[in-house]
Amino acid sequence: MPSGYGKRAGGMNKLAGRIIGILLVVSAAIYIVVVRPVQLGLDLQGGTQLTLQAQPTERVTEITPQVMLGLEAVLEQRINGFGVSETVIQISGDDRLFIQLPGVDDPDRAIDVLQDTAQLEFRVQKVGERRPLPDPETNEYLLTPEEVDTIFAPAQLTGAQLNSAATLAPQGRNESWGVELRFNSEGATTFADLTREIAGTGRTIGIFLDGQLLSAPVVRGDTNPNGIIGGVASITGQFDVNEARDLTVKLEAGALPVPVEVIENRTVGATLGAASVKRSLIAGLGGLVLTFGYMLVYYRVPGLMASTALVIYALITFAVFQLFGVTLTLPGIAGFILSIGIAVDANVLIFERTREELRSGKSVYKSVEEGFSRALASILDSNVTTLLACLVLFWLGTGLVKGFALTLAVGILVSFFTALTCTRTFLLILLSNSSWRKSELFGVKQTPA
């Protein structure tokens, strides 16, 4: 057996392992792209963009950074409960919040959910006062603040004692949507005391949201002589599904620390987003075609292998975006297209080093190996410095800048893999056939020694 046989066999086994690995990665990427939906940002799928300004009150006379952080936390909870995905909410300046709601085409409803202070109160009807009744036409309680204070005692139970809220679906044909409330231990005790006080008396317990009476139920003495225990209550009325869900979101997230005012309301149409996606795809495909053409003309066979690896790069990068739920925006697509150029840059460094080795008289196989080995340091330097720039942009930038930084960083990491693994593997597969070991195929007019 020749002395080099074992070494060549080991090299072929290693190469086969790489091919299998690449095929597995590509298959997984194709599966992810097909199965998982693409998350589009506001500028691509349309939606609502709001700027809110915090308003001081008698209790909170100054808008401090702590107040803004509390406001941001409550609004973020409300947005999450509202069912809007891939949102952006960030503090802007001293007293403003910038919010993006992709896919939301009803800004008035979103504003109502975000802007409502959601002050929940339970007030017992005073002895001897009339029972409030809703208006027969609107089914709402039309009471002035003076009438409310006359009929009901001051609040002894508020939303501060609320643990959670949930939407209740109708239980029968004539029933409407409602909201179930669950209090903490302190609230459960207070609620039991209040309902025991009025059980069987015909007096009501008023449920108020921001001073507006929502419901005024009575507590039956025959079924609840000791009040309603367990800390669970429900608000029912003529709610539709959206009203019940919105009220649940407001109560679940809690009250805003200060009221907010909408100072800008901008709606982005989906048509504009679709046009932007189309132009971005044309730009991306155009860039790929021009890059492929340059690589094929100038580097020939290595250029063909690099172009194949570049297709794999684009597929894997897009799959990573979908796998981790990266929201694609126009700046994000720009970062992705820019990373294609960086991916080619790594191949250019490798191929130029390979040409230098060929001109020095080395064999094609040895020149390719040396080209990858000696270009590694330069590739690492360029990629690391660009990744550091992405880190700074992501750390200090706003939503759109962060999207650009994230997509560029992902592209750089994937390009490092495709340049050093895919391109190298494809070239070594070709070079396993002696007919491809010609320097002319690599753009060098010199027969290797």
Q: Tell me: the pLDDT tens digits for 245-270?
A: 887 877 776 667 788 888 988 877 66
Give the burial class of 24: count Cβ atoms within 10 A of its Cβ; 0-12 exposed, 13-18 middle, 19 or more buried.
Answer: exposed
pLDDT band at 81 (very low <50, low <70, confident <90, very high): low
Residue 278: pLDDT above 60?
yes
Burial class of residue 437 in the structure, from the number of CB atoms within 10 Å of its CB (0-12 exposed, 13-18 middle, 19+ buried): middle
Contact 260, 55 (CB under 8 A): yes
Give the Cα-Cα-Cα angle 236, 242, 245 (nearest 5 degrees). Answer: 65
Mean pLDDT is lowest, of 87-91, 182-186, 383-387, for 87-91
- Does residue 147 sit in helix, strand or coil? helix
Find out whether 131 and 202 touch, Cβ atoms under 8 Å.
yes
Tokens 């650009």 -> residue = 404
pLDDT reported for residue 86: 63
**Amino acid 152: pLDDT:** 95
pLDDT at 82: 62
| Amino acid 134: pLDDT | 82
Q: Confidence band (pLDDT; 50, 70, 90) for 400?
A: low
Distance CA 36, CA 274 (A): 19
Contact indicator for 273, 43 with CB cutoff of 8 Å: yes
pLDDT of residue 149: 93
1-5, 165-169, 388-392, 434-438, range with the lowest pLDDT: 1-5
pLDDT, tens digit, for every residue of 95-142? 999 888 877 777 787 888 787 777 788 999 999 998 888 887 777 888
pLDDT confidence of residue 1: 44
**Distance between CA atoms of residues 158 and 127, nearest Å:** 21
CA separation for the pair 440, 361 (Å, rounded)? 13
Question: Residue 398 — very low, low, confident or very high, per pLDDT cuts 50/70/90?
Answer: low
Write the CB contacts of 413 (distance below 8 Å, at least 6 apart in sequence): 387
Whether pLDDT at 349 is above 60: yes
* Residue in 413, 415, 411, 422 with CA at minimum distance from that of residue 305: 422
Q: Which residues 6+ apart lie within 8 Å of 125 measured at CB?
A: 131, 132, 151, 152, 153, 198, 203, 204, 205, 206, 216
Shortest CA distance to 365 belongs to which of 433, 290, 418? 433
Spatial separation of the C-alpha atoms in residues 335 and 341, rounded to whole Å: 10
pLDDT on residue 6? 46
Strand extents, DSSP E, 230-282? 232-239, 260-268
Q: How far apart are CA 91 and CA 64, in angstroms?
A: 12
Residue spans of beta strands (DSSP E) within 125-268: 157-158, 162-168, 177-183, 205-209, 212-215, 232-239, 260-268
Per-residue model confidence as pLDDT tens digits over 149-161: 999 999 989 888 8
* Element holding 122 (H helix, E strand): strand 120-124
pTM check: above 0.75 = no
- The mean pLDDT of 309-325, rounded to a whole number, is 85
pLDDT at res. 448: 43
